[in-house]
C-alpha cells in the first residue's frame, strides 16, 4: 500500500520560507513516477504547485515559479517543497501526491495534508 | 494556462437521485481529464481518469464521459457517502489545473 506523509512547521512568519517534506512508503521514489505538491487555501479549491522526478527534473506552476524549489532525496525516499517570501495568501493545506504518467496522467495517491498558516 | 470551469458550483440532491456535473476546458484537452472526490478536511480521491476510466475500487455508480472541451461526471444513484465536493482536473499540459469544485449537498 502506497502511503505519503507530509511533515513540516504549521506556522510560518510572513516573508519567511515554508518548508515541507513528503515521506513515501510502499513505493520507490526512483521508479518512473513524478511527485507533486498541491495546495488548498481555506474554503477554496485545489492549486497545483509543481512536480519533481527522481532525477531532479521539475515542472513548476508559473504563478509560483519564482518562489518555489522542489528537491528529492532518493536515499530517504522522500521529496521536499520550499516556498520563499510567503504571505498570508500562502496559508493553505499542502498535499503531496504521486503523479502517474502512464498509461494515463493522474494523481492516484495523496498525503493527508499539512496545514500551514502564514502569520506573525 | 488551461482554465477548467465546473457547473454547477453547488448542487442539492437526495439519496437515490441521478446527478450530473459538467466540466468545460478553455481549449481542447482530448480525453486528458480526471475527476476527484473530496470530503471535508480529507485529501482528494481519484474517481475517474482519462475522461471515462473508473479507478480501481470506485463504485460503478460513478461514470465519466466527454472529450475535447466538455466532460461530465454522473452518479447514477446517490448514496449517503457521495455527498462531497467534486473536482475535475486536466492533465493535458502543465500547469495542471483544477475546476473550482462542485459541492454536492443533501436536499
List B residues 16-75 in contact with A (Cβ-Cβ < 8 A).
32, 34, 36, 38, 41-46, 49-50, 53, 55
pLDDT value, residue A76 = 97
State mean pLDDT over B84-106. Answer: 97
pLDDT value, residue B6 = 98
pLDDT in tens, chain A (120 residues): 999 999 999 999 999 999 999 999 999 998 888 999 999 999 999 999 999 999 999 999 999 999 999 999 999 999 999 999 999 999 999 999 999 998 899 999 999 999 999 999
Interval B49-91: pLDDT, tens: 999 999 999 999 999 999 999 999 999 999 999 999 999 999 9
Pairing outcome for strands B97-98 and B53-54:
unpaired
Residues 6+ apart with CB under 8 A from A15: A85, A86, A87
**Contact of A50 with A99, CB cutoff 8 Å:** no
With cut-offs at 50, 70 and 90, classify the pLDDT of residue B15.
Answer: very high
* DSSP structure string for chain B: ---EEEE-SEEEE-TT--EEEEEEESS--TT-EEEEEE-TTS--EEEEETTTEEPTT--TTEEEEEETTEEEEEESS--GGG-SEEEEEE-SSSSPEE---EEEEE-
Nearest to B53 among A48, A104, A112 (CB): A104
State mean pLDDT over B5-28. Answer: 97
Across the A:B interface, residue pairs with CB atoms under 8 Å apart total 61
pLDDT value, residue A50 = 98
Nearest to A45 among B45, B94, B101 (CB): B101
What are the cell numbers at A34?
A: 513524478
Answer whether B1 touches A (CB < 8 Å). Answer: yes
With cut-offs at 50, 70 and 90, classify the pLDDT of residue B98.
Answer: very high
pLDDT value, residue A23 = 98
| A105 contacts B32? CB cut-off 8 A | yes
pLDDT value, residue A102 = 86
| B94 contacts A104? CB cut-off 8 A | no
* DSSP structure string for chain A: --EEEEE--SEE-TTS-EEEEEEEESS-TTSS-EEEEEEE-TTS--EEEEEEETTS-EEE-TTTTTTEEEEEETTTTEEEEEE-S--GGG-EEEEEEEEE-SSS-EEEEE---EEEEE--
d(CA A60, CA B52): 27
Nearest to B87 among A46, A61, A106 (CB): A46
**Contact of A98 with A92, CB cutoff 8 Å:** no
Interval A61-87: pLDDT, tens: 999 999 999 999 999 999 999 999 999
Amino acid at each position: 500500500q502506497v502511503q505519503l506523509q507530509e511533515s513540516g512547521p504549521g506556522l510560518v512568519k510572513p516573508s519567511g520560507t515554508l518548508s515541507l517534506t513528503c515521506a513515501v512508503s510502499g513505493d520507490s521514489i526512483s521508479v518512473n513516477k513524478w511527485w507533486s505538491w498541491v495546495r488548498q487555501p481555506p474554503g477554496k479549491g485545489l492549486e497545483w504547485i509543481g512536480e519533481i522526478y527522481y532525477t531532479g527534473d521539475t515542472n513548476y506552476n508559473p504563478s509560483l515559479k519564482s518562489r518555489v524549489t522542489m528537491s528529492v532525496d532518493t536515499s530517504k525516499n522522500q521529496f521536499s517543497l520550499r516556498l520563499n517570501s510567503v504571505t498570508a495568501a500562502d496559508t493553505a493545506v499542502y498535499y503531496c501526491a504521486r503523479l502517474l504518467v502512464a498509461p494515463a496522467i493522474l494523481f492516484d495517491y495523496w498525503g493527508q495534508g499539512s496545514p500551514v498558516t502564514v502569520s506573525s | 494556462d488551461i482554465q477548467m470551469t465546473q457547473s454547477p458550483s453547488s448542487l442539492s440532491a437526495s439519496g437515490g437521485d441521478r446527478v450530473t456535473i459538467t466540466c468545460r476546458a478553455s481549449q481542447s484537452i482530448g480525453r486528458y481529464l480526471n475527476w476527484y472526490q473530496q470530503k471535508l478536511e480529507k485529501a482528494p480521491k481519484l474517481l475517474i481518469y482519462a475522461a471515462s476510466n473508473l479507478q480501481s475500487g470506485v463504485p460503478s455508480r460513478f461514470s465519466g464521459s466527454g472529450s475535447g472541451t466538455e466532460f461530465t461526471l454522473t452518479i447514477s444513484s446517490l448514496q449517503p457517502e457521495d455527498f462531497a465536493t467534486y473536482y475535475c482536473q486536466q492533465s493535458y499540459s502543465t500547469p495542471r489545473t483544477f475546476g473550482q469544485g462542485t459541492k454536492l449537498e443533501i436536499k
